[in-house]
A and B are shown apart, each in its own frame.
Chain A
């Protein structure tokens, strides 16, 4: 088997295996897998509404995935995407409500505010890591909790003790009347273009600029980079800040696009944590993140239709979705076996 065939076979086999094991789980628990998968399919592609909502779900995953992937390239594990997303969400919603500006100023202002908030939230762990060698995983995890409860408190202040900031001004909204009309009122918004633009930006930054080269170099080998005369500390902070800005933008997508408000949350949204899986599925490359986000977003959204159409309980659905993703992530194992089989054949 040539390398190319293996490259195509691996993802195909892993998805099929995932679907098969998922089907067995459904069979064993007494549900019809074909009906289940049909519901999943319809939940993703069934009608224009489903397609619109699926893309809507993919949007924040794209940005969260970029955020994790970007930090990874510099050798940093940004677990704090969730918190950076939450502060970005709040910042965007706040700017969207508090100001009265023409759209061409207001919307960019709200988006930039979200990116800045996320960047600031990531700057702190970056600084601590660079200056004091505090491990970014610990700091970012803790910053998540700080973000959750701080934004909850701020929302209460903004809304005079309520639990919702109220709807943002139309001038700051990413809502698209055009998308609404073609997707039967789904919440699909213009944010998807921002997310895709960011994918391009990340690719450009990493592959085409000196800064990107330095960031990657630090990720490959900190000491060698330092020896080569690069400022490692600066690059660590910069990487975290850019990563945080991506996460903040993911929050802006929720604030200005999907929800149009910020509300008090009982727990994390999960988007930030799923972003880790999205980035890793995509091997931390911009293009790979698109693949990971599409897979995650579609499965996550389509899964909602499984209880709706096939009557499969949410718990089983969660297991099935997790199994599919699990097998996709196991692509390496399948590649290993394929290559082993290949070698044996050649030996004979």
Chain B
């Protein structure tokens, strides 16, 4: 009995040994070409000698919103220039908590990426710290200003795009009740809120906007309950600026649309064009999306850096005039006459006739 058990144990150990052994040789094989590739790409290959990488905030790279858009921008840039994912090309690291930002940024800088992006406001302090420690590194931050000579800062006028979302929502709402679901109560999201409220007010000051902050960017369940409460109270359009939490808003709206095909529920997406998130069979509950072209911003910096003009120490602001924020194609959800009115406001804002406030009064 014991002998048999011992034999079993022995064979297990042997099996494990062979498995691990096999992996060992595979490992050597895979690392070797990588190294030679690394040295080779510096001079000979046709791909450009430029590399870029980003660190996500806690939302993760598949948040269907802010981080994902930035990553898509980097991916597109990489493919355009014949780069590959990994060292010497393009890559990302995901953060699971505040303590990870510094480590992740540091790891990427150490892997010699030419530009390292910190995606999101939460990385303001970490980027500043790394910028001081690694004066040779070229860093970029989205949604915050870090005043260091080797950091390029990108800001968006979210309030301008959100204003248009507010106009569209106010004109489209039948119940005259509109919802806003925010993530954390931070200046960026407050700009979304301020612009949205202002846009609604510009069309019809009597419309009530139910503003709810969930306090989180990564809690879809919370987004769903918040949306549930809003729709049940008579709200018919919800604008979310809550990253991953906003996916719950979509889930709730889709659930209602599935149960009752005539339900009048809409969601206005954020950051990326979230049309596909809203598909319910052949219908769609995405009214439009307030696009924040993080992808364009990321690529612009990459292009400038590749040309040797890295905009270190500068802050670039993208508004309606720069096409950094815009409403996505509504694919027929919004009738043309309303779109025309939205366009009017858009032109006025771009021309500076309307100045949208950044904070809620």
User: Which of B44-52, B213-221, B328-336 is the contact stretch?
Assistant: B213-221
User: How long is the Cα–Cα vector from A261 to B216 in the complex, in angstroms?
Assistant: 20
Q: Which residues of chain A are within 8 angstroms of B19 by Cβ–Cβ distance? A: 23, 27
Residue-wise interface mask of B (96-128) relative to A, using a CB-CB cutoff of 8 A (1 in contact, 0 not): 111110111011100100000000001011000
- Given contacts A258-B99, A305-B107, whether A34 and B20 have CB atoms under 8 Å apart is yes
Q: Which residues of chain A are within 8 angstroms of B218 by Cβ–Cβ distance? A: 266-267
User: How long is the Cα–Cα vector from A306 to B225 in the complex, in angstroms?
Assistant: 35
Q: Which residues of chain B are within 8 angstroms of A295 by Cβ–Cβ distance? A: none
User: Which of A115-123, A230-238, A340-348 is the contact stretch?
Assistant: A340-348
Which of B1, B103, B185 has a CB less than 8 Å from the CB of A301?
B103
Q: Which residues of chain B are within 8 angstroms of A259 by Cβ–Cβ distance? A: 98-99, 125
Within 8 Å of chain A (Cβ to Cβ): is B184? yes
Within 8 Å of chain A (Cβ to Cβ): is B30? yes
Which of A33, A57, A163, A348 has a CB less than 8 Å from the CB of B23?
A33
Q: Are A34 and B216 in contact (CB under 8 A)?
A: no
Within 8 Å of chain B (Cβ to Cβ): is A304? yes
Q: Which residues of chain A are within 8 angstroms of B185 by Cβ–Cβ distance? A: 156, 163, 264
Identity of the chain B residue whose Cβ is nearest the Cβ of A269 in the assembled complex: B97
Q: Are A266 and B23 in contact (CB under 8 A)?
A: no
Which of A57, A265, A314 has a CB less than 8 Å from the CB of B98?
A265
Q: Are B1 and A20 in contact (CB under 8 A)?
A: no
Q: Are B107 and A308 in contact (CB under 8 A)?
A: yes
Q: Are A32 and B27 in contact (CB under 8 A)?
A: yes
Q: Are B103 and A53 in contact (CB under 8 A)?
A: yes
Q: Are B23 and A32 in contact (CB under 8 A)?
A: yes
**Interface size of B in residues (CB-CB distance below 8 Å):** 43
| Nearest-Cβ distance from residue B172 to partner chain A, whole angstroms | 31
Q: Which residues of chain A are within 8 angstroms of B31 by Cβ–Cβ distance? A: 35
Residue-wise interface mask of B (250-281) relative to A, using a CB-CB cutoff of 8 A (1 in contact, 0 not): 00000000000000000000000000000000
Q: Are A32 and B186 in contact (CB under 8 A)?
A: no
Which of A35, A49, A164 has a CB less than 8 Å from the CB of B106?
A49
- Given contacts A27-B19, A264-B184, whether A35 and B86 have CB atoms under 8 Å apart is no
Identity of the chain B residue whose Cβ is nearest the Cβ of A261 in the assembled complex: B125
Identity of the chain A residue whose Cβ is nearest the Cβ of B103 in the assembled complex: A304
Q: Which residues of chain A are within 8 angstroms of B219 by Cβ–Cβ distance? A: 267
Q: Are B86 and A263 in contact (CB under 8 A)?
A: no
Q: Are B184 and A307 in contact (CB under 8 A)?
A: no
| Nearest-Cβ distance from residue A132 to partner chain B, whole angstroms | 31
Q: Which residues of chain B are within 8 angstroms of A27 by Cβ–Cβ distance? A: 19, 23
Within 8 Å of chain B (Cβ to Cβ): is A154? no
Q: Are B30 and A35 in contact (CB under 8 A)?
A: yes
Within 8 Å of chain B (Cβ to Cβ): is A38? yes
- Given contacts A23-B20, A264-B186, whether A35 and B27 have CB atoms under 8 Å apart is yes
Within 8 Å of chain A (Cβ to Cβ): is B2? yes
User: How long is the Cα–Cα vector from A304 to B104 in the complex, in angstroms?
Assistant: 8
Bin chain A's interface residue count: 35 or more
- Given contacts A32-B23, A32-B30, A187-B102, whether A341 and B216 have CB atoms under 8 Å apart is no
Q: Are B2 and A344 in contact (CB under 8 A)?
A: yes
Within 8 Å of chain B (Cβ to Cβ): is A270? yes
Q: Which residues of chain B are within 8 angstroms of A152 by Cβ–Cβ distance? A: 215
Within 8 Å of chain A (Cβ to Cβ): is B43? no
User: How long is the Cα–Cα vector from A266 to B222 in the complex, in angstroms?
Assistant: 12
| Nearest-Cβ distance from residue A327 to partner chain B, whole angstroms | 14
Residue-wise interface mask of A (269-311) relative to B, using a CB-CB cutoff of 8 A (1 in contact, 0 not): 1100000000000000000000000000000010011011001
Identity of the chain A residue whose Cβ is nearest the Cβ of B110 in the assembled complex: A49
Within 8 Å of chain A (Cβ to Cβ): is B352? no
Within 8 Å of chain B (Cβ to Cβ): is A326? no
Which residues of chain B (143-164) have a CB below 8 Å from chain A?
none
Q: Which residues of chain B are within 8 angstroms of A341 by Cβ–Cβ distance? A: 2, 5
Q: Which residues of chain A are within 8 angstroms of B16 by Cβ–Cβ distance? A: 20
| Nearest-Cβ distance from residue A273 to partner chain B, whole angstroms | 12
List of 4 A-B pairs having minimum Cβ-Cβ separation, nearest first: A34-B23, A266-B216, A185-B133, A34-B27
The chain B residues found within 8 Å of chain A, CB to CB, are 1-2, 5, 16, 19-20, 23-24, 26-27, 30-31, 58, 60, 86, 93-94, 96-100, 102-104, 106-108, 111, 122, 124-125, 133, 183-187, 215-219
Could you list some 19 contacts between A and B, CB below 8 A?
A: A23-B19, A23-B23, A27-B19, A33-B20, A34-B23, A35-B31, A149-B215, A152-B215, A163-B186, A164-B124, A263-B125, A264-B184, A269-B98, A308-B93, A308-B107, A308-B111, A314-B60, A314-B96, A344-B2
